[in-house]
A = this chain, B = another copy of it.
Amino acid sequence: MNNKDEFFMQKAIQLAGRKRYKNKPEPLAGAVLVKGDQIIAQGYQKTNAEPHAVSQVLYNLAPEQESTIYTNIEPCFSPENNFSCAKMLVQKGIKRCVIGTLNPAPEINGKSIAYLKAQGVEVTFGVLEEKCRQLNIFYFKYTQTGLPFVTVKYAQSLDGRLATATGQSQWISSGSSLRLAHQLRSIHDGILIGIGTLLKDNPRLTVRLVKGTSPWRIIVDTSLKIPLTANVLNDEHIKKTIIVTTKVAEKKKMAAIEKRGAKILKINQDPQGQVDLREAFFRLGRIGIHSVMVEGGAKMITSLLKNKLFDRLVITIAPKIIGQGIEAVGELGVKELKEAIKFNRIRFKKMGADLIFEGEPVNQTWKV
């Protein structure tokens, strides 16, 4: 690995990042072909119907003996398919292949690299690995576990309150932080809230302040309290509404909701009688949801934090103090400080008057 490798890998990451990873079975991928110090071809997969990045770059090219190809993720490989990226790369006589991360899909996961080496291609692995991992973090989580990547996002005061005791929370944070919330919505496959938040705010859970497809709206609602008049059951995105409930839900109401076009997921109850969130995420993964953004409320946040059912936390901290009110995080059962939730990849950044905290909890076990 050297500075030149990092430079061209950064270019491949940029190309890959031109797309959003959204409901995709394929990871984001970019490829850059370099001869000497010159980029002679580059590409990325714009739609799932297009060839993969590496194949795209090489397909129309004459064999290239002296060149190096850079790609953020291990090229695809299949012993039977001569058009797989790894085979194409060998056919075109590429001398060296520089790769950011493995592709954890079971049919690839290192097999592609082994094939390239066996065919005499020089392989350099792990260039800007962490950046490449972050780029496809939803893909990695989903591919390795079948579970969606879960981002928990909320806005709080300096003293950790979501709202005043009377529940007032509108505009706790500034305009630019609201934009951030909508941007996060636009990159996740689904937005999830608890029924308490729905009953209080009746949100639409669509992407408005930025461009992007509207995500699945997922309401966790143990005893199906959702009113049939709720916004998410009455707009043009009804088919993108999922109500996660349990066997205590009234059957007639379930049927009425399904008839409107929304989806019902019936899940087991956890020991507290609530929707078993672990199972809920598993089921959401099964219907192809790779990433979920959780927007509240306090009970949902506390439950996910307590049960370590989240992969990233994003907190907008508004420079205000509310005092006793609705606290973002309730009882976690932490007795000693060493049991507190700690974070990796911590970022603090200013946004308007607010501060954004981002971190991933330590001890995630599904890492690539």
Question: Are A334 and B340 interface neighbours, CB within 8 A?
Answer: no
Q: Within A162-186, which residues are at the interface with B (CB < 8 Å)?
A: 163-166, 168-172
Q: Which B residues touch A171, using CB under 8 A?
A: 337
Question: CB within 8 A of A337: which of B168, B330, B339, B355?
Answer: B168
Query: In the docked arrangement, what's the CA distance between A236 and B203, Å?
Result: 62
* Contact status of A336 and B306, CB under 8 A, knowing A159-B328, A160-B159: no
Asked if A323 is at the interface (CB within 8 A of a chain B CB), the reply is: yes
Chain A residues bordering chain B, tally (CB within 8 A): 51
Asked if A346 is at the interface (CB within 8 A of a chain B CB), the reply is: yes
Q: Which B residues touch A341, using CB under 8 A?
A: 320-322
Asked if A353 is at the interface (CB within 8 A of a chain B CB), the reply is: yes
Asked if A10 is at the interface (CB within 8 A of a chain B CB), the reply is: no
Q: Within A301-349, which residues are at the interface with B (CB < 8 Å)?
A: 302, 305-306, 313, 315, 317, 319-325, 327-337, 339-343, 346, 348
* Contact status of A323 and B305, CB under 8 A, knowing A160-B159, A160-B161: yes
Asked if A350 is at the interface (CB within 8 A of a chain B CB), the reply is: yes
Q: Which B residues touch A143, using CB under 8 A?
A: none
Query: In the docked arrangement, what's the CA distance between A225 and B302, Å?
Result: 38
Query: In the docked arrangement, what's the CA distance between A156 and B161, Å?
Result: 13
Question: Are B353 and A346 interface neighbours, CB within 8 A?
Answer: yes
- List residues of A whose CB falls within 8 A of some B CB: 156-161, 163-166, 168-172, 302, 305-306, 313, 315, 317, 319-325, 327-337, 339-343, 346, 348, 350, 353, 355, 357, 359
